[in-house]
């Protein structure tokens, strides 16, 4: 059985690859984030991901199937009854949610807002569903004049609080959101999000990079808890620490963009000797999916592809890279919500020069099961694909032996 010293888990936030069988229940028939981006903004230029087998997962304009992909490929089904980031990441970590988080798409009830006014010491503005960039332009001047924070929500299970950094200091905003997190647990609201912004009425208001998410704690131990319990290092990049409430994480690096997330991932891997490096790249979802920007989404995929070409050269034979997503966010669909989709699965190690078809997995939790098995642990509800990788490795060694050599390091 293969055993990897370092595992890198890269979550491309919102990069789905086709509607799930129950997508109709979520009004997501026809969703296919990758496929529809290729059709509307393609042809895509993704030579690295093509060589890894991305085109073998779903038809993608500009990225045809690869005859000999250098990564194992497949797709995964979300078993949980939702399509949000928290639920998707938790399922990757081995926690399946049978009941979705609650959504208050028309605003929050009076008892919640009364609690907020008590905690904030003032009445809020807003309490409406809105785009975060739009509502600060609309209510920003009144907020600056009155000092009243802006509360808004969306079709996702979020309670968002926006405040100008010169009006409500960021640490005070975090404190308000921390206290609201305790209030909202009983309402099953997935995330409280602090949204600091700056600027002025004349030149416009802009959100800063000091966003912070306050998630409900996972209802039971996740893969991260189990790794930490057994002294296996866990490093997190992006919003991973927020999603898991810091549980099971040794160190984390907050980031404001995909570019920052990729740089942090590369830097952390250079320092790691053994353990898990868990990264979320948020821009696909936050900057392009919700804003229904196919062109920007395609450009972000191409930036990722270029970075991967260099990152793969940094990997050792004892390293494993897993690339996946947490849900879809198809920019060609109506509205601004996430979309109920399969997510791609690409698994790469320099140890194996040719990948294999991992099929359609029954749950995101197969990733957690694989990582735990790699570190000789058990506990995830998923099915590990480590044995499939080991079988490919053994076949490669036999073929190399028969031809009197050793398998060459794959070029992707």
For 210, the token pair is 């000091």
Task: Give residue-wise pLDDT tens across range 62-81.
Answer: 999 999 999 999 999 999 99
Q: Which has the closest alpha carbon to 36: 294, 266, 405?
A: 294
pLDDT over threshold 70, residue 312: yes
Compute the average pLDDT of residues 359-364.
98
Residue 228 — pLDDT band, cuts 50, 70, 90? very high
Q: What is the DSSP letter of 40?
A: H
Highest mean pLDDT among 209-218, 275-284, 393-402: 275-284
Q: Which has the closest alpha carbon to 180: 111, 239, 255, 272?
A: 111
pLDDT over threshold 90, residue 93: yes
Residue 43 — pLDDT band, cuts 50, 70, 90? very high
Compute the average pLDDT of residues 33-60.
97
Query: What share of the chain has pLDDT > 70, as a percent?
Result: 95
Query: Which residues partner with 74 through β-bridges?
Result: 345, 359
Residue 404 — pLDDT band, cuts 50, 70, 90? low
Residue 396 — pLDDT band, cuts 50, 70, 90? low
Query: What share of the chain has pLDDT > 90, as a percent?
Result: 87
Query: Which residues partner with 253 through β-bridges?
Result: 237
Least confident interval from 176-180, 203-207, 352-356: 352-356
**pLDDT attached to residue 209:** 85
**pLDDT attached to residue 412:** 46
pTM value is 0.89
Count CB neighbours of 9 within 10 A.
23
**pLDDT attached to residue 7:** 98
**pLDDT attached to residue 221:** 95
**pLDDT attached to residue 411:** 47
Residue 393 — pLDDT band, cuts 50, 70, 90? low
Task: Give residue-wise pLDDT tens across range 109-151.
Answer: 999 999 999 999 999 999 999 988 899 999 999 999 999 999 9
Residue 305 — pLDDT band, cuts 50, 70, 90? very high
SS3 for 385? coil
For 407, the token pair is 């398998």
The more confidently predicted of residues 336 and 33 is 33
For 2, the token pair is 């293969």
Find the helix or strand (DSSP H, E) in which 182 lies.
helix 170-184
Contacts of 385 (CB under 8 A, 6+ apart): 72, 74, 347, 358, 361, 366, 370
């Amino acid at each position: 059985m293969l055993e990897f010293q370092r595992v890198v888990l890269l979550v491309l936030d919102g990069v789905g690859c086709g509607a799930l069988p129950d997508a109709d229940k979520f009004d997501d028939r026809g969703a296919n984030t990758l496929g529809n981006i290729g059709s509307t903004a393609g042809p895509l230029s993704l030579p690295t991901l093509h060589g890894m087998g991305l085109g073998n997962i779903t038809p993608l304009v500009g990225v045809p199937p690869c005859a000999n992909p250098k990564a194992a490929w497949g797709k995964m089904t979300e078993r949980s009854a939702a399509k949000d980031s928290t639920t998707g990441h938790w399922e990757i970590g081995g926690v399946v949610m049978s009941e979705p988080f609650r959504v208050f798409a028309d605003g929050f009830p009076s008892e919640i807002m009364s609690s907020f006014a008590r905690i904030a010491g003032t009445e809020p503005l807003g309490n409406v569903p809105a785009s975060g960039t739009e509502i600060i332009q609309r209510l920003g001047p009144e907020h600056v004049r009155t000092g009243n924070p802006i509360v808004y929500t969306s079709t996702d299970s979020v309670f968002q609080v926006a405040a100008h950094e010169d009006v409500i200091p960021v640490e005070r905003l975090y404190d308000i959101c921390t206290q609201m997190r305790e209030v909202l647990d009983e309402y099953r609201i997935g995330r409280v999000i602090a949204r600091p912004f700056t600027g002025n009425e004349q030149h416009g208001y802009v959100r800063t990079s000091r966003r912070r998410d306050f998630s409900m704690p996972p209802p039971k131990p996740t893969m991260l808890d189990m790794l930490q319990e057994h002294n296996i290092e866990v490093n997190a990049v992006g919003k991973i620490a927020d999603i898991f409430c810091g549980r099971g994480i040794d160190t984390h690096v907050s980031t404001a963009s995909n570019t920052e997330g990729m740089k942090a991932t590369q830097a952390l891997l250079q320092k790691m000797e053994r353990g898990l490096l868990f990264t979320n790249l948020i821009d696909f979802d936050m900057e392009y999916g919700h804003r229904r920007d196919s062109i920007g989404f395609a450009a972000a995929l191409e930036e990722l592809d270029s970075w991967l070409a260099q990152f793969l050269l940094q990997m050792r034979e004892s390293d494993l890279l897993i690339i996946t997503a947490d849900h879809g966010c198809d920019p060609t669909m109506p509205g601004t919500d996430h979309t109920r989709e399969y997510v791609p699965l690409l698994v790469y190690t320099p140890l194996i020069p040719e990948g294999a078809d991992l099929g359609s997995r029954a749950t995101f939790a197969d990733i957690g099961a694989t990582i735990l098995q790699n570190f000789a642990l058990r506990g995830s509800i998923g099915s590990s694909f480590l044995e499939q990788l080991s079988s490919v490795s053994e076949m490669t060694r036999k073929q190399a032996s028969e031809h009197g050599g050793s398998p060459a390091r794959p070029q992707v």
